[in-house]
Amino acid sequence: MERIVNLHIEKLPEGLYLATSDDVQGLVAQGRTVAETLEIARDVAKKLLEAQGKGDQSPSLTVVGDSFDYPLIVSA
């Protein structure tokens, strides 16, 4: 089963990226690049959804600013 998880991606002053989500309680992921952050967020979301008993593919992403929202599809 696939599920869309909306992520909020923010570039931190240290140059790292932080992903959080209002859709999956407890989802927080941090990486050196947007791609790494999305990969970590996908893994964290999948584990959190599995633990909650709820149910990956992602389109190409172009960064326009320092903060943006991103829909993440997670399959359980």
CATH class of domain segment(s) 2-75: alpha beta
Give the model confidence (pLDDT) of 32-62 as tens digits. 999 999 999 999 999 998 888 754 433 333 4
Contacts of residue 18, Cβ cutoff 8 Å, sequence gap at least 6? 9, 10, 12, 28, 29, 30, 37
Three-class SS of 18-40: EEECCCCCCCEEEECCHHHHHHH
Share above pLDDT 70 across residues of the chain, in percent, rounded to a whole number: 82
